[in-house]
Amino acid sequence: MQKSMVEKIKANPDYQELVSKRTSFSIKLTIAMLVVYFGFILTIAFDPSALAVPLSSDSVTTIGIPIGMAVIVFAFILTGIYTKRANGEFDDLANKIKESVKED
């Protein structure tokens, strides 16, 4: 790609908006995932008895198993949320940038 085109893209306000929104959104999702994951891991490390409670009186499965699965499901949900926004708003902005560069 030519340097002049790269500079045009970088100077485009839509590009700057895209980078800003995408970075902000991904940081928020990353923080949410880290809080959930490390909350689970730190609970295992410092209070394992909290997750060792059986689901019922005659069950060998503890409450930690469904909570661990919920952490995995949460990761899938965050991936879906990011994908939906990326395929919508972020792609629209990217296409707008492409069109403005073609016009010049």
* Structural domain that includes position 42: 13-103
The pLDDT assigned to 104 comes to 63
Would you say residue 7 lies in a domain? no
**Looking at the 3D structure of the chain, how many domains does it have?**
1
Would you say residue 2 lies in a domain? no
pTM: 0.84
Would you say residue 39 lies in a domain? yes
Would you say residue 96 lies in a domain? yes
Q: Which residues of the chain have pLDDT under 50?
A: none
The pLDDT assigned to 78 comes to 97
The pLDDT assigned to 1 comes to 55
- What is the per-residue burial (b if ≥16 Cβ within 10 Å, else e) of 44-53? eeeeeeeeee
Would you say residue 1 lies in a domain? no
Would you say residue 66 lies in a domain? yes
Would you say residue 4 lies in a domain? no
DSSP 62: B
